[in-house]
Amino acid sequence: MKKKYLLTILAILFIILVGIISLLYFKTDVLKHFFEKQETDLPVNQTQMTEEEIKLQEIGYNELEREKIYEYMSEKNQKELLNHPYVDLTDFYEIPNFELKNIDRYLAYQTISHLELQDCVTQVNLNLDKPFYEEIEEIEDPSSITVLVNKYHALPATYEPDLIPIPSFPNLKLREEATYALEKLIAAAKENGSILIPYSTYRSYEYQDGLYQKYLQNDPVDVVDTYSARPGHSEHQTGLAVDIRSEEHWSNLTEKDYAWMKENSYQYGFIIRYTKDNNKITGYKEEPWHIRYIGIEHATKVHELNITYDEYYDLYLTNH
């Protein structure tokens, strides 16, 4: 009887021991899963974040915003964001030429211009939210084939490119690349029945200054600025621009020749620089005769996109 009682006690104790062990295991497993869940529920596991991501989080950017910043924003913008108060970038993530430093100007310009945000960004980057000639930057690489010369970017007064005579018109000079491209363009136009004649090519800083001053004798400055560049701001000083005319015109193209130029000049690396209805961007009236060499690749893209060279330069040739 005692033996049977002892076995019963031992069985009960065994059951209790098993229960205690099971309970402890269960609790450990529950606690483990609880803490794992707590970790996954945290906004971000900071041990897996870079210092830059942690800084962006501290500034106020949530996880989704940080993902978009690293997916769309340039390294330049990413670095600037680290030292900038939080700003809502929702509308700017997918705009390729966005620059953080200009964000207030973008928003202000959109209010008065009523343009699409992409166009606002491009035009503000070009300083078009400010008057022409108000903020002028001297060009650092004036010999670049793709150099942008306009009312905000000036060539050094001392800049003189390497020039060679145009074989068919030896009294006129251009840079070598533009010279041979122009010869090909003139030959192709001739096959189409168009006789094109260059009449103004390279102009020095001093020559352009004299020309501009001459115009001022007849028209006020605001009028002259619509058809003549101030010294340092003329593409002619690059040796890459040429004014070209039809055989039967003194300083312009016939409608037929202009139509051919619009459809074919890009194949030889030229663009018609100052086109109709783009004076708000270029600052000049339409000049069918003024063509600029930028190389076949870029000229083709400008032609296909049907935008001004100023816009193209900001969108595709500027490091944002």
What are the distances in angstroms from CA 30 to CA 22, 27, 38, 155, 162?
12, 5, 12, 73, 80
Sheet order of strands, 196-200 included: 196-200, 241-246, 287-293, 270-274
Backbone angles phi, psi at 305, to 5 degrees: -80, -20
What are the E-state strand segments in 153-312?
Answer: 153-154, 164-166, 169-174, 196-200, 241-246, 270-274, 287-293
Long-range contact set of residues 209-214: C-beta below 8 Å, sequence gap at least 24: none
Task: Answer yes or no: are the C-beta atoms of 71 and 92 closer than 8 Å.
Answer: no
Backbone angles phi, psi at 5, to 5 degrees: -65, -40
Opening angle at CA 117, ends 233 and 72, nearest 5: 100
Please enumerate in sequence order all residues whose Cβ is within 8 A of that of 178, keeping only pairs 6 or more positions apart, or say none.
239, 240, 242, 269, 293
User: Catalytic residue numbers?
Assistant: 287
How far, in Å, CA of 82 to CA of 55, rounded?
7
Task: Answer yes or no: are the C-beta atoms of 92 and 103 closer than 8 Å.
Answer: yes
